[in-house]
Structure 1
């Protein structure tokens, strides 16, 4: 903490969004929370993306789960408020009853990369060491488990061998399956800044979509979805054919090359056939291969486009194989780099968060590892086989084999594939416990017990980012309602089961210290392994022995530090490159080449489902919107779910831009607005993952997603689901803005968007009876016949506008048309910020547009500074023809830089003659 004034204190904490792990400075003044980037954090050096910058918008009490509750057993099934003791007694008794009757594998936990390491540690210790089941999996299974499996196959341990600084040392950065500009914007800005400093540095983006990231690339390879293994097998064969082999490294430090090369040469040994299989231009593919071959310092960074696949682990190993063959690993500026999705996916992996792992990077199927962990925990029972992975876990719940589940910090009814099955499974489950910060989510609707968890700003602990850097997440607000830490709730249940002495934690630092001691226990690499375990011990790269023994003050003052930490951290000492000594963590300490036979995803498209669905994130939202959906700044960029497709496919499907469409698969369907962005190749569609039942009537894309999984990692196929797209027929389109919540009974489709002082609803309906005055007044709750009510109606055109004025302030308005081309929401949103609307505003409400030039700012482009498209277009026409010039005039693009590609596109479109 740093004092900034007699009345405020700056708290240094960590952003709770992506796995980049940016440092954050927070100043609390009264009810205002000001957030800025931590200038001394090694990850971001003061920069924050728009989501991080808007964190202050999300820490209020709105929508929070305030107290424990248990579902009543009478007819109304409502939730009844109870004490923490009563709720935990209910949980403990319910789990115990099921364990005694059906065994430990009849219960499960489903946790999250949103948990802190301390929460994760206690959950895994309780389940695996004291219940005796490995049925504890995490939503990290959905994003990073293929990377974990690939690392373990190649390196013997889940080790990310690259640091962020390497991105700036590389001469070639290859981004695979990652819209880094939007999903990890601070990392992307580090790359862009270095590229501006060194124009000779090259950036290659491999992605089926043309995204904001590709706009900044020297070369974009829009490969056919699912063909990554062909592409990297082809690269491996190319490197071998052209002698780009680090022979000494391969002979001295690897094994398995012959088998891997046989598969690569057989399946992808010809450049022309690889280009055909990947649907790439042969010249572009050759350019990439030759660029990789002649560049010593190469980083291949990959994310969800690689991992979220039924062949995800093979994709990871195909990438690693190329780095092993060329020796581009264990050196500055070189290596394969898994970019983590969630803020603490890495911390969860450290403590055994996945169902097929043990804590401290040990293996549940290894008897020596199990014995070490059991002795360390002094546990009465230890799980001795892998538990159910996420998809299998919910299948087991659906089938009644798992009868109780405790869900923590995640929303599987939205985020899991085949999400309607998740609904069905939870509705059948005997006992569903949900720990969450929000009272109403798609998942809490199925809970028998809800437990209020502390949210960001209230909880304290540690997280580990994509480069293995541990950072403190510190509290700066008192808990809202009766919210408590997740580790505490778990420990209280353990105490009720008679394990009080083993879960006697009183604060987070005690949990963290135990975690650190376990990483050092029996670890030959620590220098204390012989003393801890006897014999040679179990070498593990994960080692936090240098952090053992910290008291609360030392823990509170912990600065960001990358593991392994073998001694007390000293920022003056350089951290050696991972694998720089050529030693890996396999039994023979050699890296493994893994043969990767390419195959296309199962259940290919057919006449009924001719298109391939790809899912992912948008720039300003996160996961299922329970946090970002609260921020007006973040809601304004992409306000509603959309389906993006190629114009020719749209024509064949009979849908038009801005109209609504239903997207259907064999598993489910959703409804979204049609977008023709120009980013999609033929036969592919994209739908974002974020919308849920609180923000859209039918926007859960998870209900469509193919539940097939990678056979090694268990990660689902989020990037390749066969779908069809067809018109969603409605009679009218509309929107409403209101200071009060509105019922949506009159709409066949709706979305809800948070605004500044109001809520916006996008609407569409099928009922068209011409009685819009009564319908609009009923929708907006106007019962007073003498209310200050403005309206305009053109029945022949089907156009209606109505507005309610209260005390000279706009309270609500509704606009309806048979077409989706409705008035500007940005201009109307601005009216809600006025203390008093003028006569000119009243006239504008009636005609559907502002009278004053410049009042309509347009759709938000730069969320950091709230700059709209029309404002940007006016500045371009006024002479600002570069992003730099626009930034100087409007500030857009000068913070996180995520909007720069969009600014370039708007400049190009605005300057087109005519």
Structure 2
């Protein structure tokens, strides 16, 4: 929770506490940050923020550990014959602007592109979109949000006429049935999951259904888990729609008065999905379980279906979204308390980007590129010289166009496509061939920045200032509480500077408040009253217009729409518009937070000319690439609990590395046996597009025929763990979102002669290892290693690795030459400096115990013995693998407490050892561990 870099020193005294917003998932939690005089940053949850009421997940709690300047890009760099060299901002901006201008003048506006990110603030997004679509005149601006929620956007627009999320977090507390589809909420949106858990404690009658091919931590709270076959969601929900029509569960009055397309949609669903037995067969689940879910949905009026990447990231993602929405429209469960379809976004500002047209097929303010009156509205408001007239290239297509040479310049901002895009090696080829690559980032070295011709230093969280919008349409402020490091600048400012150098007017904003004001005015422009040119849309935050910098700084969290009429009726000034609360009791806080929030679609008027919602027929179709004899397994990818995206932030935190330290391949034990891979060993996953290597595990959640690999690891943290290189590039034909949840792969053993790991206070290079992973510890860096060639002299190898070449160095070691085991420790001034453990087998000593030795100023004699023995000499010294990252509580400690104390509930465990008492992310694991421990004790 600290940053002690002297470069953080500021001449001005920062405020004691700054209220801001977490930069991770789309929940949008409020954070209170404070900075000590020595630069140390402390964070806590904001009890007044209506998203989290003071709670933070472990990633949010560890934000203070991620703001140090280690590895930061602090100055502009430009590529020369000698590589990237430091240049002035004027030189870098002139190079970027002149390069873009030359290519546009020579090849036309579609020869350049921007690829941006849900990590951007709304103000950054707005300027980027205005520059490309209104001045360059091309819609070639897309975002990494294309990879996580564009199917939800497309589904919303097809059903509602506009990208609308009609559910608020408070509705989760009101629902009697919550259906989580393709969402490991316990790990990916922990604060929402804890709100659900607390609701279940208060109302045990409320039920939770989880639909996911894997048995994840989220399932530990579920009443029912449907482990459907990957890609069969449309069959499942078409079957539900057919079931609803036969069970008199359809709200015929609602359907008749407020929708269209009913008959065709039901007919399409009935073709393949009218028989529940056939649906169960296709989905590969028990018929009884299927019917139990169908009955629960049909019988429960207050039902929320919350979905995330498991639905969106599919070649049929948009149809999956509409199949879900169809069931809610059929039952009239929309625009009402505790009911509706709920898209849970993955990034902190995915929705803010959507508001300002960040996707290649959208205009700002929820307007459409393919409609002339919409284009005229935006161009007139901007007074811009041009307006894009057709959709631009979506993410995957964009990088294919770059490789083909159609797009000759790309500006990549706040994202890492060489890691995150599917068929990621193709992205490498594209950038290597591109005439001009501009990259704006906070980190000096990423897999993508290696291809930059111009590398621009950006502000990071805690340094930049603006707004983000959460999954429930809540606008919150991200506020700066740290000085800009080095020469780093705000993304919006860099975009404006380049635009001005390219000869464009309209980019002389006085600050983020001015950009926000222009954005909110655009949402209200031709969106009010009887204007004959009115283009009605629900997105309207024009009630917040007119704020100066001080009022903008004081803006409290507020859900849209915030119309001028609503503000006037509420007798509130814009800077006071707030749903914030201060009560400590959850129920009171929820009531206060939602009292004045406008509920969209409550009038059942949708954003089509006739005001009716659309049922969308969704004929089911299988993923385009099926498993076969050459590639017999289906690869699923996703997140782990304590890491984020490509780890440029979270990879700096020792706390977050303590839970899952390495990339892994999760596989069913019978599949592992069949394909000759073993738990703890290394294996190679290969598809038609690429390959990667990671450690094998049996997590207990996989069905036969499938494997799971997390998305986070890349070439900065591991030798060969970029799963994006393996993922197939097939996309949804409507949304353009890639098929991250199903890639046919094969698996084989990755044979090595030795396994090992190193803990060292000084950086060491894993040059002799065939496979490695770098992990940040509190007082050290850890390397997990494996080598193909046996080490003839491990002592000489280890001494050279640590620079301990002095023959009189305090060097402890043990070697079992016959068994191939070697253990060594390098001690300097009685303090451990480094240690190494090698074995021909993957079973090695506990890293958790060894990590504690680096906290000691003097290495005790008993610990010297333990180092040579490969295990602690004191009982209880080894806490085991970390389960609760917040309090550093390991599996061994938990098991001992459960057995010795006869503990039977997570609450009892928390009372005993604190685990689970902060963010609650580990509660599902604790619950599972209690169950396993009791079974072991009974045996």
Report if TM-score (shorter chain) is over 0.5.
yes
* From 592, 599, 614, the counterpart of 2:621: 599
Is 2:48 aligned against 1:29? no
1:333-412 equivalence runs, <5 A: 333-412=338-417
Q: Could you tell me how far 1:770 is from its partner in structure 2?
A: 2.7
CA deviation string 1:304-346 (max 9, x = no partner)? 0000000000000000000000101111000000001000000
Q: Could you tell me how far 1:120 is from its partner in structure 2?
A: 0.1
Q: Could you tell me how far 1:900 is from its partner in structure 2?
A: 1.0
SS at match of 2:640: coil
CA deviation string 1:196-233 (max 9, x = no partner)? 10000000000000000011100000001100000000
CA distance in 1, matches of 2:181, 2:366: 26
* From 866, 882, 890, the counterpart of 2:888: 866
Contact 1:861/1:869 (8 A) holds in 2: yes
1:54-93 equivalence runs, <5 A: 54-72=62-80, 74=81, 76=82, 78-93=83-98
Contact 1:161/1:335 (8 A) holds in 2: yes
SS at match of 2:692: strand
Contact 2:215/2:701 (8 A) holds in 1: yes
1:513-552 equivalence runs, <5 A: 513-524=517-528, 527=529, 530=531, 535-552=532-549
CA deviation string 1:818-842 (max 9, x = no partner)? 0010001011111111111111111
Q: Which runs of 5+ in 1 are unaligned?
A: 1-5
Is 2:657 aligned against 1:642? no
Equivalent in the alignment of 1:438? 443
CA distance in 1, matches of 2:780, 2:795: 22
Q: Could you tell me how far 1:845 is from its partner in structure 2?
A: 1.0
Equivalent in the alignment of 1:668? 690
CA distance in 1, matches of 2:219, 2:148: 22
CA distance in 1, matches of 2:744, 2:536: 45
Is 2:424 aligned against 1:419? yes
Contact 2:315/2:730 (8 A) holds in 1: yes
Q: Could you tell me how far 1:782 is from its partner in structure 2?
A: 1.7
Q: Could you tell me how far 1:8 is from its partner in structure 2?
A: 5.9
What is the TM-score of this pair, normalised by structure 2?
0.95
Is 2:752 aligned against 1:747? no
Q: Could you tell me how far 1:575 is from its partner in structure 2?
A: 2.6
Is 2:108 aligned against 1:100? no
1:177-576 equivalence runs, <5 A: 177-500=182-505, 502-524=506-528, 527=529, 530=531, 535-566=532-563, 567=567, 568=574, 569=577, 571=579, 574-576=596-598
CA distance in 1, matches of 2:673, 2:399: 38
Residues 1:570 and 1:635: Cα distance change in structure 2 (over 3 Å)? closer
Q: Could you tell me how far 1:877 is from its partner in structure 2?
A: 2.1
Q: Could you tell me how far 1:348 is from its partner in structure 2?
A: 0.1
CA deviation string 1:476-504 (max 9, x = no partner)? 0001111100000000011112224x000
Is 2:36 aligned against 1:14? no
CA distance in 1, matches of 2:447, 2:171: 41
SS at match of 2:32: strand
Contact 2:439/2:455 (8 A) holds in 1: yes
Equivalent in the alignment of 2:741? 719
Contact 2:297/2:303 (8 A) holds in 1: yes
Most deviating of 898-907 and 330-339: 898-907
CA distance in 2, matches of 1:104, 1:599: 37
CA distance in 2, matches of 1:557, 1:782: 56
CA distance in 2, matches of 1:904, 1:383: 54
CA distance in 2, matches of 1:242, 1:908: 38
SS at match of 1:878: helix
CA distance in 2, matches of 1:618, 1:555: 35
CA distance in 1, matches of 2:894, 2:578: 47
What is the TM-score of this pair, normalised by structure 1?
0.97
CA distance in 2, matches of 1:71, 1:811: 38
Equivalent in the alignment of 2:867? 845
1:159-178 equivalence runs, <5 A: 159-178=164-183
Equivalent in the alignment of 1:895? 918
Equivalent in the alignment of 1:45? 53
Q: Could you tell me how far 1:7 is from its partner in structure 2?
A: 8.9
* From 654, 678, 681, the counterpart of 1:632: 654
CA distance in 2, matches of 1:765, 1:616: 28
SS at match of 1:742: coil
Q: Could you tell me how far 1:506 is from its partner in structure 2?
A: 2.0
CA distance in 1, matches of 2:14, 2:718: 42
Most deviating of 875-884 and 542-551: 875-884
CA deviation string 1:37-57 (max 9, x = no partner)? 000100000000000000000
CA distance in 2, matches of 1:570, 1:405: 39
Is 2:643 aligned against 1:611? no
CA distance in 2, matches of 1:852, 1:891: 23
SS at match of 1:9: coil
CA distance in 1, matches of 2:69, 2:910: 35
CA deviation string 1:849-893 (max 9, x = no partner)? 111111111111000111111111221221133211110111101
CA distance in 1, matches of 2:71, 2:880: 29
Equivalent in the alignment of 1:684? 706
Q: Which runs of 5+ in 2 are unaligned?
A: 1-12, 568-573, 580-591
CA distance in 2, matches of 1:49, 1:260: 41
Is 2:132 aligned against 1:110? no
SS at match of 1:792: strand
CA deviation string 1:748-787 (max 9, x = no partner)? 0000000011000000001114311111111222221211
Q: Could you tell me how far 1:570 is from its partner in structure 2?
A: 5.9
CA distance in 2, matches of 1:876, 1:456: 40
CA distance in 2, matches of 1:495, 1:225: 49
CA distance in 2, matches of 1:822, 1:414: 30
Contact 1:770/1:795 (8 A) holds in 2: no
CA distance in 2, matches of 1:342, 1:393: 21
Contact 2:14/2:481 (8 A) holds in 1: no
CA distance in 2, matches of 1:46, 1:772: 51
Is 2:928 aligned against 1:905? yes
SS at match of 1:458: coil
Q: Could you tell me how far 1:574 is from its partner in structure 2?
A: 2.2
Residues 1:286 and 1:119: Cα distance change in structure 2 (over 3 Å)? same
CA distance in 1, matches of 2:817, 2:473: 63
Equivalent in the alignment of 1:3? none
CA distance in 1, matches of 2:661, 2:14: 38
CA distance in 1, matches of 2:167, 2:791: 63
CA distance in 2, matches of 1:409, 1:722: 30
Equivalent in the alignment of 2:584? none
CA distance in 2, matches of 1:314, 1:8: 49
SS at match of 1:827: helix
Q: Could you tell me how far 1:100 is from its partner in structure 2?
A: 0.9
Residues 1:570 and 1:659: Cα distance change in structure 2 (over 3 Å)? closer
CA deviation string 1:114-162 (max 9, x = no partner)? 0000000000000000001100000000000000000000000000010
CA distance in 1, matches of 2:247, 2:904: 45
Equivalent in the alignment of 2:7? none
Where does structure 1 differ by over 6 angstroms across 4 or more consecutive aligned residues?
none
Q: Could you tell me how far 1:89 is from its partner in structure 2?
A: 0.3
